[in-house]
Structure 1
Amino acid sequence: MSISFVLVEPSRATNVGAAARAIKTMGFNKLILVGSELHLTPEAGWLAHGATDILESVEVMPDLASVRQRFDILVATTARERGTPRQFFDPQQLSQHLKQTGSASIALVFGREASGLSNDELESCDLFSYVPLANDYPSLNLAQAVMVYSYALSQTLSNIDASLSASQARADSGQLQALKQKAEALLVELEAGEDKKLKQWLLDGMARLGERDCKLAHQLLNDIKRKLG
């Protein structure tokens, strides 16, 4: 398993520097910025302190769609929406779930300080997570949220079995995205592709499957398609 932290269009260089420091403190080393080069500013370095190496290795990508192409699982960090069929993990639940994902490459996505992630960006993600707060305000700022998640997920990394062979890792990689594509194609074949609530419920549920259950779901969809055809 590999975990990267993605900041979408951050507006404050100090938050970028503090985020770099947070992830390095917890044993991570991959920071990606979408639509921003604030890691190059002096202000980012002021807050990074001993994590300037993280800033120096930051990768800049033009949009979240480009990130989507690179990772097996995208986790959106967002406020919990009431009345939505989406299911949300808190950081500890997310950590426990990710232990079941095998060798997947995972990107934890943080939205803009003022407005978060757009609806289209949320739709491109697989899992959804939020930090339960005692009060609605004040909320966590960007760097604080990165610290909370990097701490929670550091416990996951410390317990992951690193004995997966390279060939096994390649076999496991992309399994979820292939499953979701197969499910979407099946919905179209069943003339249910326009049912947005059903589609979201199905795809979100698949994203919550562990590695073993994901393989079984592949087998089930293959059996259904074979029966239909």
Structure 2
Amino acid sequence: MLFSALSLLTSAAAVSATALPSSFSSSSSSAAAAPAKRASGSISVTPHDKFASSLGVLGCKINTNRVAYWPEARGCDDLCVKVSANGRSVNLLVIDHSGGAHDISYDAWNYLVTGRSATDDPTQGGGIPATWEDVPMSECADLITEPTGRLAFSAPTGMNTVGSCLGNAWFAENYVLYNIYTSQCTFGYDEVCTLEGNLPQCGHTLGETAVLTTQPVYNIDYGTGKLSLAA
């Protein structure tokens, strides 16, 4: 049940029970075949000020100021990490794969450096020494803002992730699909979709790129602390 970077343009129709992407392993895979799980470690964390999720996690349904972009593969129920530095800690949702750096939201990085939000006391810099550890998903529950408390995915673009993780007990009970096309919630419809077979069923045409303005996602711009609309 491991993920790596997934294309935001993956078609939902391409997902089937017999053809999961090779970057995932199914729930029936043997433990011996899976890479060893790294429960904690020392890293350098760097600031990331532009929200995106190649896994299809919707930014309008989570706290985008508390996310991580990790180079290591993660499990379907292993998306919450605690990062500590300078005597402070933040819990983060791992919602994307990085090319090698341990990136975290600019606001989270700023808090670890200064103890204050980037909107109040923006600072600049590179990697800072930190430690991280896997923590239960319950410790990231307050970072999920979707009305039912479930982790929301794009039905048009997030089906590779969802289709590969449905065999996981936590994931199967704690995900929801929306007919929103982009992870920044700029196109689509703010409506819940259901799965029939392997295909999402939504009130409007799946993946329609109608402009969506009711679910804005904001970035905190690096160095200035000003808000800008994510795109």
TM range, smaller chain: under 0.3
Larger Rg computed on CA atoms: 1
TM-score where L is the length of structure 2: 0.26
Report the structure, 1 or 2, having the larger strand content.
Answer: 2
Report the structure, 1 or 2, having the larger helix content.
Answer: 1
